[in-house]
Amino acid sequence: LNEKDPHSTAVMLVLEPGGATWAHCGDSRLYHYRGDRLLQRSADHSYVEHLVRAGKITPEQALIHPNRNVLLTSLGDKDDPKIDVGQAEVQPGDNFLLCSDGLWAYFPDDELGRVLRDFPPRKAAELLINTARARARGRGDNCSLAIVRLKAAEKPAAAPLGRPAR
């Protein structure tokens, strides 16, 4: 793909009791943290991610590579998109971050994990967006995110005798 052609990327998350399933296309990412420990991260469908996986460049070199915005697949291209799917077991306290490259490009994985661990989701979102904008210095891509923090399910209250539960 040419980096000047318009293209869309996407990431989605489906939660079920005890598990999560996600899918992504392009370089929108899903991060799964337990505390500040990264359990999983989706792999970008980008030229530089391909070079990193092949051992030709380091992750640090990928951040400044001149072709870092070139996607190998995206939504809306003439070819069918490549969509990867992942799954994980989950537990209360796990955090998921779904975001565009306008956010993740400005943070190392461990910093994202610390922010998600240390702040409530709304405050974490504000901090991440404001920090990404400041670090981009007016040059950044779109910056979007969703944070999901899992809580233990509350047990339904017992119904009074003689009344059915709602």
Query: What pLDDT was estimated at residue 166?
Result: 61
Query: What pLDDT was estimated at residue 6?
Result: 62
Distance of alpha carbon 54 from alpha carbon 49, whole angstroms: 8
Taking CA atoms, 95 is separated from 38, 74, 119, in Å, by: 10, 26, 11
Distance of alpha carbon 117 from alpha carbon 2, whole angstroms: 37
Tens-binned pLDDT, residue by residue, of the chain (166 aa): 445 566 789 999 999 998 999 999 999 999 999 999 999 999 999 999 999 999 999 988 887 888 888 889 888 878 889 999 999 999 999 999 999 989 998 999 999 999 999 999 999 999 999 999 999 998 877 899 999 999 987 877 776 776 666 6
SS3 110: helix
Helix (H) or strand (E) holding 135: helix 121-136
Taking CA atoms, 11 is separated from 2, 46, 151, in Å, by: 21, 14, 22
